Chains A and B, each alone.
Chain A
Amino acid sequence: MKATVESLLRLGDDRLVLGHRLSEWCGHAPILEEDIALSNISLDLIGQAERFLGLAGAREGRGRDADALAFLRGPTEFRNCLLVEQPDLDFAHTIVRQVLFDSAALPELERLASSSDAELAELCARAAKETRYHARHAREWFVRLGDGSDESHRRMQAALDALWPFTAELRESEPEASWGAELSRLIETARLRRPGDPEYPTGGGRRGVHSEHLDRLLAEMQCVARAHPGASW
């Protein structure tokens, strides 16, 4: 069965928004090597987004290519999960957000890589290969900072507590059974405490209901494309 435009937009928008968020570290990361690593991961994600959105546009059949979908849609048309639009309050938030995202994204990509939709399967296999490295990178930091100094531990727990409610939305696209246990083990290895699940889970991103953070992100990401319609680069 062919993937729907809606599901391709979800895959593409998650990566576009997260890729843009990570790109904000360029020139600001805690150390040069990490600056390069985060920029590389950001570029991988934007490349994945371009391919998923390109396929979404082709299947939609309304003449919108990846650029049109990325730069000419408003916030309510974006289908990304709320987790990826959360701001980088500190490096701990970046690492926790990445670990949570990759935990669910990797099994999802691996599952879709054997989809009967050949075009989707190929894109997912390619994305899974990159995501395996992203997950490894984020997990190494997650453990070192969680099980690090008093301050790094405190910041990691704060970030985990703040971002945990957004994992509810990840379960909409990938059942927790495929990633929850491993994530719990990782949290334990990092000597962090797994937050309780919220009584009222946060969600809505898949329906276009977003936080104000996405408005600001898109305003910045889209301003050049919107100021110069039809320009190519």
Chain B
Amino acid sequence: MSPPTADSQWPLWEVFVQEKAGAPHEHAGSVHAPDGELALQAARDVYARRGPIASLWVVESERIVATTTADAASFLEPGPEKLYRHSRFYSGPKARKSK
């Protein structure tokens, strides 16, 4: 069992829910849990009890490598004359579409 973190909570896990087989796993929220099995159980109770669910993923939040707000300008925004760099003309997995 992992030692408690500074805020006395267990590690945070991100929960991904798949509504039906073949569909993308979409981020549903997070739970605190001491390990993967209990994170999966907490995820089931918190995010998967109200509807049919095909599959659940949990991943430790600290395993996720993410951009920061400060990165956004240089990392994510294309120059105005380079819109072709966006793959918006192609259909991709649902979870990758911007709303």
Q: Which residues of A lie under 8 Å from residue B81 when comparing CB positions?
A: none
Q: Which residue of B lies closest to A33 (CB)?
A: B42
The contact string, 1 if C-beta is below 8 Å from chain B, for chain A 9-45, is: 0000000000000000000000111101100100000
Known: A137-B41, A140-B37. A33 touches B1 (CB 8 A): no
Give Cα A32–Cα B32 distance, bound, in whole angstroms: 9
Give Cα A155–Cα B33 distance, bound, in whole angstroms: 21
In the complex, the answer to whether B41 meets A37 with C-beta atoms within 8 Å is yes
| Tally of A interface residues using CB under 8 Å | 14
B17 CB-CB contact with A under 8 Å: no
Q: Which residues of A lie under 8 Å from residue B9 when comparing CB positions?
A: 31
Known: A31-B32, A144-B34, A148-B1. A36 touches B41 (CB 8 A): no
Q: Which residue of B lies closest to A39 (CB)?
A: B45
In the complex, the answer to whether A140 meets B46 with C-beta atoms within 8 Å is no
B57 CB-CB contact with A under 8 Å: no
Give Cα A112–Cα B99 distance, bound, in whole angstroms: 50
Q: Which residue of A lies closest to B38 (CB)?
A: A140
| Tally of B interface residues using CB under 8 Å | 15
Give Cα A36–Cα B41 distance, bound, in whole angstroms: 11
- Option from B10, B34, B45 in Cβ contact (under 8 Å) with A37: B45
Q: Which residues of A lie under 8 Å from residue B46 when comparing CB positions?
A: 33, 36
Nearest Cβ in chain B — how far from A27, in angstroms?
15
Give Cα A36–Cα B9 distance, bound, in whole angstroms: 16
The contact string, 1 if C-beta is below 8 Å from chain B, for chain A 100-139, is: 0000000000000000000000000000000001001100
Q: Which residues of A lie under 8 Å from residue B49 when comparing CB positions?
A: 40
In the complex, the answer to whether A33 meets B37 with C-beta atoms within 8 Å is no
The contact string, 1 if C-beta is below 8 Å from chain B, for chain A 140-182, is: 1100100010000000000000000000000000000000000
**CB-defined A-B contacts under 8 Å, sample of 24:** A31-B10, A31-B32, A32-B32, A33-B31, A33-B32, A33-B38, A33-B42, A33-B45, A33-B46, A34-B42, A36-B42, A36-B45, A37-B41, A37-B42, A40-B45, A40-B49, A133-B44, A137-B41, A140-B37, A140-B38, A140-B41, A144-B1, A144-B34, A144-B38
Q: Which residues on B are within 8 Å of A, measured CB to CB?
A: 1, 9-10, 31-34, 37-38, 41-42, 44-46, 49
